[in-house]
Structure formats: structure tokens, C-alpha cells
A and B are shown apart, each in its own frame.
Chain A
């Protein structure tokens, strides 16, 4: 791999972090929050796989990192959610047919877009059912085996680890479960760990190393404020004292994509996220397709960003204009990285690495044209003195790096724990910490159970992990679907406490436990003993 880099001036490492919390509600006929997964499938994951296929077809060399969280991977593999997604796509296709008819006579300006959505949903259905046979994991694995994708994992349920630094058993359990889940689902051990929200605290690397994980990603300031000035800034990794490497995020390339003020996605010709026919069409027209009993997003969005202040004052989206813009933006992005490397390589005694980590769902879901942007970026990189590579490629070239410990940091708003420890969500930690303590107590009390008791203890461990998802405090802070997030935290804590009390009374209700196992069915290989002090 690295032999082909000799004539290249620098490495660019695209890292897409794909994550959704575990949302699965077979106890309901339909469940609104399951649409988080359906939208991400339709708008991000399937389009990204099409991008990979397109690059492969044209023999464009591309190599990047994808972190697929254990909760997302579990949902992608889940038969029940697969069925529901197909049902969702069929509903969307019905709505698309209706829209094609409706716009033909009533809204000709959006007729072409209605046709586009019909084609998009039809293609998603065909790809999902016929091309991939519902198995997106196999498709990601295919590109991993081909050498295009390096697959990372993240913690089991995407817990923001700095909030649990006093509970080493919990951090160990989160990472162990993630690594085992990754191995079981992808058939390969991961080499890198995506720290949820890039949340790092000094010493965290000690939990990472025992699992054979070689690197993680940090925010820029995590590297810059390390306990020794970083020799290469963020353009080379640091080696923590125990040998685990940390790569820092490049700010310029992050800003180019993340900022809606001066970043590419904010261009007014791109499709607007917020204006959706779910809010424009009459209720009786839209209700049969949403199952929400309320106005919700449908994914049919006909407007360009244009007026950022007034949703009602937007211009219709023009596909061809947006396509021209995405080509220009991808070209600009690549050109700026070339200029960057030109300057950096004059200052360094080795090739610089520019690490560009993003949330995967940004591309497609938020920024509709994002997957095309990624495709064009790779096509562009192939024509330059840059090479698309991964942190592992870099470590193969340069195994010895400056030793230093990064600083406490995250990539969240204001750079630390402000999002996850906030007046809106800090009430959860008293409970989350308590259930960890109780889980550890259960392991001490029942070190080697089997049968029904072991099942109950394993389910207790699942509930502990599920309660810790960083998504719930994030949602409480940002104010989207807060009641659901609150209910989820409370439900997992309640489920755990119920099992804890049942075990204390030596009465485990088999029927209740079986129902819970079927509902929260992730991590089938979980071993409750991992919460023990001496485990591993």
C-alpha cells in the first residue's frame, strides 16, 4: 500500500463516523424515532455505498475510514428493522407517486423534483432488497476487504467517556463490548477506536490499548494542548506514553464542511433541510404516509436554502445548479488541501497527514449533495500529489512518533463536556453512576451464574450500557424529541433496577425478561462479568 505513496506529498485521511442510538420498538405498530435510521439509510448510507460503487467502477483509487457504531451495526443487521425499513420505503414510494401526480397539475415547479424523489426511493428499494439483499454490513465489509475502507469501532453505545472517568469497569465494558460486537458483525477486529464526540481525558488510552486498538481521533485542541508542544501541530499524530496513537482533526477542512455560515453546505443553491412537504401539504393528504398523527419530516424537500430566515420565502431547488456547485466545491476543497500540503511539506521532515473527520449523517441527511461531494473529492484527490490514506497507513510509514499525552477535550460545542453536563441533562449522572455501582455489586454477588439468572444479569448489563448513550443528554440539551430521550434514560435505569431488585429477592420473572431480551436484543454475546473489577 505505502509503496505507492512515495511520489505523493501528503496524506489526506477522510474519517466518516456513522452512528445512531439503538431505537427499536416492536411493541408499537410504528414508531416515530425509528425514522432516524430510515432517513439515514435513504439519505446517507445507501447513497454513500453508491458513491463507493461508482468510484470502483471508474477505478478511482479511494481509501478512507468509516467508524460504524455497534448500535448502528446492530440495527443494520436486525431483521425486524429491515422489514420496517422496506415498509417505510414502500410508503414513501406511494407518496412519491401521489406527489408526481399532484405536482404535475398543481405545482409544476416541483414536478421534476417529485420525479427525482420517486426515482431515489425506487433506487433505494432496489439497492436495499435486490443488490444488497438487505445486508449493508456485507457491502461495507466488501469495501473493507478491497482496501478502500478501514473500519473503526466506537464504544458500545456511544457513551461520552469523560463523564464516567471514575468508573474504569464501565469504560472497559463499553470498549470490550464494542470490539466484540465489531468482530462478530464484521468478522474482523478493529484497529482504531472512535471516541464518542472525540471525548478524551488523560489516561483513557490505558483502556484502549489492551483491546489491540492502535489509534483514536482527537479534536485539534486536544493535540495542541498536549503535555508537550506537538512538533507537527495536528499534521502528525502523537504517541501516548503507552504507544496508542492519537490523530488530531484539521480545522480548515472541518470548517469547510461544517460551517453553514461559510462552509460549502450553506450555499443557497443547495437543497434546504427544513422545508418539507410534511409541513406544506394538508394533513389528510400526508397523514397516511407518516403514521405520526402529527406533522413530521417526509424527506420530500423541494426548496433550495435561499432565504435562511424565512422558511416560507424559499426558491425551488434546481438539481442542475446544485450539481455544478458541488463540483466547484469539491474542486475547491481538494485545491485548498493541495495548497495546505505544499506549505506543510516544506516545514516537515515527513509527509503531513490531514485528518478530516465528520459525522457520516452530515452527508446526505443534512447536506443532500454531500455524498456527491465526497465522490468528487476522491476523484479530485486522485489527480493531485495527495493520497487518500488512513491513520494505519501513516503508522505503517512512520511507526515512531512524538510521545505526549493529549489534553481533556471533545469536538462538541465549546470543546469540552458542556453539551453533556448541562442544566438540562445533569440529573442523569446520579442514576447512571448508581446503576454502574449496582452492576458491579451484582457481579461480585453472582460471579458465576448460569441459566435464567445469567440471562437476567446479561440483560442488566445491556440496560446499563444502553442508558449511557451520549445521544440522550445531547438531545435533552438541544431540544429535539426531549421526552423520548428522557424516557429512554429512565426506561433503561428502571429496567436495570427491576432486574437488580428481582435478583435481590431471588425472583426473576421469565416472561418479563424474555420480552425485554426480545426488545433490546443487541450484543447477543454480552457477558455481565465484564463489569467485575478483575475481568480481563
Chain B
């Protein structure tokens, strides 16, 4: 989105952009000032994107590049509104990375109404439950922790305390200090991000081959595989080199 492009837009369209981007402006703002405001905001967005997206992502994104910056879509006549809710009680847990998950949930309209009208209702919370396998058994719970949520909340990112373990998440309501289970999610197994010892004692050179696969700088790449931040990516951060001694 260039200055030239913004100048070609009507004052009304510029106001729409400012509204959409939640930009603060004085009533009666001049068109040129409005353009400057939008340009500053776009530049900020661009820098944010560059901070957030590493070079690999930016290279891949060129496949979809048609212009220098994100373009605004003014075809609001075709605006499609999806249902905000599906009138269902549901909870879904998704694994995002070895130690973080994403959970979204919803409650039936009637359930929400009931809770709102129930004088004993004190609130909702999510309970993250760790288990040794993907089967729920109260007796086998390894650990759990609770996260208070509001009736209007629908989604959350949650950190898992342990790798290589099983988790499910439960949604509870509290009534007069009593917990009441509303729904339990699917199970997810958190992932490991470390190299296991070998099951086969005869793997003579596996240490060296694993080192060459992930740690060596002999052929132009050296990245430790000890933490997810530094795992091999499309573009490997230069600061990720480690010395042979560290290995």
C-alpha cells in the first residue's frame, strides 16, 4: 500500500481503513493527515511482520506476493459473516508445539442462559489433566492445574508442563464452591524434542551420524537440536551455532 495508492482512495475509504485498524484520529482530520496516519500504521505492521516472520517464512510468502504490502479489500458488498457460535457444547485441544497447545470451546445457548440465571453459579475454569495414557481414569491422574475463564471466553493457548505425556482439558462450572464437569476434550500426546538413547547397542556410529545430522558445521550447517527454538528450520539462525564442546 503506497502513499500514491492511498491518495487515490476516497476520504470515506481512508476513514474505513482507519476504523478497521483502530487508529485514533481527531474528528475532521484532513485527508493528508489521515494518509500519513495510515502509512505510519502500515509501516509499523510491516516491521511487526518482519520481526515475527523469519526469512524463511518471508521467502515462502513471496509465492503469494502481488504487491509491496498487504492490500485492503474494499468489496464489502460481498462480506460473508460466518456463524459466531454453533449452539453446541464442545471443547477441542490441539497440539501446537511440544509444550504449547491451543484449546477452543463453546457452550450451548441454553447452557449459558442456565448458568447466567443460576444464583449459585460462581464461574468457569479449565482443568488441564496429565495422564500416563490416552484414557481417562481419576486414579491415574499424574498432575493437573486450573485456569479460570469467563463465560464469554472461547479460546486459549496453554503451556503443557511435561513433554512426552498425555493431556486432556476439562471445562468446569463452580456452584456454591462445588465443581461440576461440563465437558472433557480429546486427548493429545505432547511431543518430545530431544534425541533418545538407542534401543540397539550395536549402533556403533549412530552418535557421530546424529551429530552430523544435527550438530555439525562441517558441511555448512550447525544447529543444536536441544531446544525447539533452535531446531532445524528452513532458514537456520546463524546465532545457533554451537561448539563441538557444547555437544
Contact = CB atoms under 8 A, between A and B. Distances in A.
B194 to A, nearest CB: 7
Contacts of A234: 213-214
A85 to B, nearest CB: 16
Nearest to A219: B232
A182 to B, nearest CB: 21
Contact of A228 (B4, B58, B199): B199
B78 interface: yes
A228 B236 contact: no
A480 B228 contact: no
Interface in B60-90: 60-68, 70-73, 78, 80, 82-83, 86
Interface in A220-260: 220-221, 223-235, 248-256, 258-260
Contacts of B58: 478
Interface residues of B, number: 80
A34 to B, nearest CB: 10
Q: Which of B71, B73, B154, B155 has the most CB of A within 10 A?
A: B71
B122 interface: no
Given A230-B210, A417-B95, A433-B92, A224 B195 contact: yes
A324 B139 CA distance: 69
B36 to A, nearest CB: 19
B5 interface: yes
A415 B231 contact: yes
A252 B61 contact: no
Contact of A490 (B5, B80, B196, B228): B80
B159 interface: no
A378 interface: no
B232 A221 contact: yes
Interface string A268-306: 000001100011000100000000101111000000000
B39 interface: no
A20 B65 CA distance: 12
B186 A166 contact: yes
Contacts of A313: none
Given A224-B214, A411-B234, A430-B106, A230 B206 contact: yes
B62 A366 contact: yes
Contact of A294 (B5, B62, B82): B5
Given A221-B214, A251-B213, A415-B232, A260 B195 contact: no
A496 B45 CA distance: 33
Interface string B220-238: 1101010011011111101
B92 A229 contact: no
Interface in A291-339: 292, 294-297, 336-337, 339
Given A224-B213, A260-B235, A408 B98 contact: yes
Interface string A11-36: 00000000010000000000011011
B193 A407 contact: yes
Contacts of B219: 252-253, 336-337, 339-340
B120 interface: no
B64 A487 contact: no
- The 3 tightest CB contacts between A and B, nearest first, are A233-B213, A483-B73, A233-B209
